[in-house]
Structure 1
Amino acid sequence: MSKIKLGILGGGEDSLIGVLHRVASSMFDKYEVVGGVFDPTYDKSLNFGKKLGLDPDRLYRDLDHLVEEENKRAEEDRIQVISVLTPNFLHFPMAKKLVENNFHVICEKPLTTTYEEAKVLVDLQAEKGKIFGVTYTYTGYPMVRQMKQMIADGVIGKIQKVDVQYYQGWINPIIHDKEKRSSTWRLDPGKSGISCCIGDIGTHAFNMVEYVTGQQVEQILADLNYLYEDNPMDIDGTVLLRFSGKAKGVLRASQIATGEENNFTVQIYGEKGGLKWQQENPNYLYLMVDGKPLQVLKPGHVYNSDFSLEGTKLPPGHPEGIFDSMGNIYLGIANAINGKKKFDGAYPLLQEGARGMKFIEKTVASHKEGNVWIKLDD
Structure 2
Amino acid sequence: MARKIKLGIIGGGGDSLIGVLHRIASFINDNYEIVGAVFNPVWEENINFAKQIGIKTDRIYVDFDTLIEEELKLPKEERIQVCSVLTPNFLHFPMAKKLLKNGFHVICEKPMTTTFSEAKILQSVLEENNAVFAVTHTYTGYPMVRQMREMIKDGALGKIQKVDAQYYQGWLNPVIHEKEKRASTWRLNPEKAGISCCFGDIGVHAFNMIEFTTGMQIDTILADLNYLYEDNKMDIDGTALVRFNTNAKGVIRSSQVATGEENNLTIAIYGDKGGLRWEQENPNFLYVLSDDKPVQVYKPGHAYNSELSLDGTKLPPGHPEGIFDAMANIYLGVARAIRGEAYNSGEFPTVMDGVRGMSFIEKAVESHQKGNVWLKIED
Q: What TM-score, normalized by structure 1, do the two folds share?
A: 0.84
Say whether the 8 Å CA contact 1:35–1:49 is kept in structure 2.
no
Query: How many Å separate the matches in 1 of 2:138 and 2:323?
Result: 18
Deviations 1:139-160 (A, max 9, x none): 0000000000000000011000
Superposition deviation, residue 29 in structure 1: 0.3
| 1:186 partner SS | helix
Aligned position for 1:36: 37
Distance 1:224 1:135 in 2: 25
In the alignment, structure 1 residue 301 sits paired with structure 2 residue 310 = no
Q: Give 1:54 deviation, angstroms.
A: 2.1
Q: Secondary structure at the match of 1:286?
A: strand
Q: Which residue of 1 aligns with 2:155?
A: 154
RMSD: 1.1
1:158-191 deviation line (CA, Å, top 9, x unaligned)? 0000000000000011100010011100000000
TM-superposed CA distance for 1:35, in Å, is: 1.3
**Could you tell me whether the CA contact under 8 Å between 1:108 and 1:134 is conserved in 2?**
yes
**Contact 2:39 2:49 (C-alpha < 8 Å) held by counterparts:** yes
State the percentage of identical aligned residues: 69
Which whole-Å CA distance do the structure 1 matches of 2:262 and 2:54 have between them?
A: 34
Give the aligned partner of residue 205 of structure 2: 204
SS at match of 2:80: coil
SS across alignment from 1:160: strand
Q: Which residue matches 1:190?
A: 191
Give CA-to-partner distance per residue, 1:75-130, whole Å, 9 cap, x none. 11010000000000010111111111110000000001101111111000000021
What does residue range 214-225 of structure 1 map to in structure 2 within 5 Å?
A: 214-225=215-226
2:176 corresponds to: 175
- 1:3 alignment counterpart: 4
Structure 1 residue aligned with 2:237: 236
- 1:355 counterpart residue number: none
Return 5+ residue gaps in structure 2 as ranges: 326-379
Report the AA paired with residue 37 of structure 2: G
SS in 1 for 2:216: coil
- The structure whose Rg is larger is 1
Q: For residues 194-223 of structure 1, what are the alpha-carbon distances to aligned partners after superposition, in whole Å with 9 as ceiling and x for unaligned?
A: 000000000000001001000000010100
**Match of 1:97?**
98
Query: Any idea what SS the aligned residue of 2:33 has?
Result: strand
Partner of 2:214: 213
SS, match of residue 287 in structure 2 = strand
Distance in 2 (CA, whole Å) between partners of 1:323 and 1:107 is 16
Amino acid at match of 1:243: F
Work out the CA distance in 1 between the residues paired with 2:55 and 2:206. Answer: 36
Change (3 A) 1:164 1:102: same
Task: Map Cα deviations across residues 46-99 of structure 1 (whole Å, 9 max, x no partner).
Answer: 111122222222000001100011000001101000000000001011111111
Q: How far apart in 1 are the matches of 2:171 and 2:107?
A: 26
Change in 2 beyond 3 A, CA 1:323/1:129? closer
Secondary structure of residue in 2 paired with 1:224: strand
State the distance in 2 between where 1:53 and 1:313 align. 26
Quote how far apart the aligned CAs of 1:2 are. Answer: 1.1
Measured in 2, the distance between the counterparts of 1:303 and 1:14 equals 40
Q: Give distance in 2, aligned partners of 1:323 and 1:101.
A: 29
Q: Does 1:312 align with 2:313?
A: yes
SS at match of 1:206: helix
| Other-structure match for 2:49 | 48
- Cα distance in 1 between the residues matched to 2:59 and 2:272: 56
Query: Contact between 2:50 and 2:60, CA under 8 Å: does it hold in 1?
Result: yes
Partner of 2:361: none
Larger RCO of the pair (alpha carbons < 8 Å, separation 6+): 2
Once residues 183 and 18 of structure 1 are traced to their aligned partners in structure 2, the CA distance between those partners, rounded to angstroms, is 22
Cross-structure match for 2:69: 68
2:106 aligned counterpart, secondary structure: strand
State how far apart, in whole Å, the 1-side matches of 2:159 and 2:322 are. Answer: 34
Residue aligning to 1:336? none
Correspondence for 2:332: none
The amino acid of 2:47's aligned partner reads L
For 1:208, give the aligned amino acid.
Answer: M
Partner of 1:357: none
Q: Which consecutive aligned stretches of 4+ in structure 1 deviate over 6 angstroms post-superposition? A: none
Encode CA deviations 1:240-290: one digit per residue, 9 max, x unaligned: 000123210000000010000000000000000000000000000000010
How many residue pairs are counted as aligned between the two chains? 324
* In 2: Cα distance, 1:169 partner to 1:55 partner: 38
Report whether the alignment pairs 1:248 with 2:226: no
Q: What is the aligned partner in structure 2 of residue 292 from structure 1?
A: 293
The residue number in structure 2 matching 1:58 is: 59
Q: Report the 3-state secondary structure (helix = DSSP H, G, I; strand = E; otherwise coil) of the residue aligned with 2:85.
A: strand
Q: Which runs of 5+ in 1 are unaligned?
A: 325-378
1:288-367 equivalences under 5 Å are 288-321=289-322
What TM-score, normalized to structure 2?
A: 0.84
Residue 323 of structure 1: how far off its partner (Å): 7.8
CA distance in 2, matches of 1:13, 1:194: 26
